[in-house]
Chains A and B, each alone.
Chain A
């Protein structure tokens, strides 16, 4: 049973560039949430997607955007990268019905230089 799959695992970008991170949810899950985790900190909620729409958003600027596809997979886009965007980006999937549970992927480590 595949869990949450994120790609790529590591990424190095230059300040000012744009980046796209991808997430495939766990089988049976239809809701995807994205989190940013800076070094030494707990994960911070970015936004959540359900039925291809952004349902909730954390305190992140508009440079952070996302998308959910009909197959429930999701992308996180970050424009105009700043050095401070360097972090581990985590995707968590869940089901809009049935039992409770969030399943996290192993994340994408983004380094902005």
Chain B
């Protein structure tokens, strides 16, 4: 079973920041938080991941609470192309990239003009 809880759907106005929450209250100390998104009819696309510090890359920012029980993915200036299903996943990062990704239902983000 997925170890994360996300809202089923969210709307965001184009050009505004999209803030997608995720609860992972049972996260272990060695588990990372990963975010993927899946645009209709495509495979999931990696966005960002982090352990306990906030992370930022060219796509998004990841804010993890101090107790690590929840996190927020921030798309700073959402565009219509950001409309997708966003998945929050927790897993142990290990050398060799072995292991599976356990997807939940994800959050369907609809960016509106």
A-side residues, CB < 8 A to B, are 4, 31, 33, 35, 41-45, 48, 50, 55-56, 58, 90, 92, 94-97, 100-107
Contact = CB atoms under 8 A, between A and B. Distances in A.
Interface in B26-83: 41-46, 49
A39 B6 CA distance: 18
Contacts of A55: 98
B11 interface: no
Q: How large is the interface on B (under 10, 10 to 19, 20 to 34, 35 or more residues)?
A: 20 to 34
A42 B43 contact: no
Contacts of A35: 101, 103
Contact of A31 (B45, B98, B104, B105): B98
Given A42-B104, A43-B103, A44-B103, A94 B97 contact: yes
A44 B2 CA distance: 10
Given A43-B101, A48-B99, 20 more contacts: A31-B98, A35-B101, A42-B87, A44-B103, A45-B102, A48-B100, A50-B98, A56-B99, A56-B100, A58-B100, A92-B43, A96-B98, A97-B95, A97-B96, A100-B49, A101-B97, A102-B101, A104-B44, A104-B45, A106-B41
Interface of B: 2, 41-46, 49, 85, 87, 93, 95-106
B98 A101 contact: no
B22 to A, nearest CB: 13
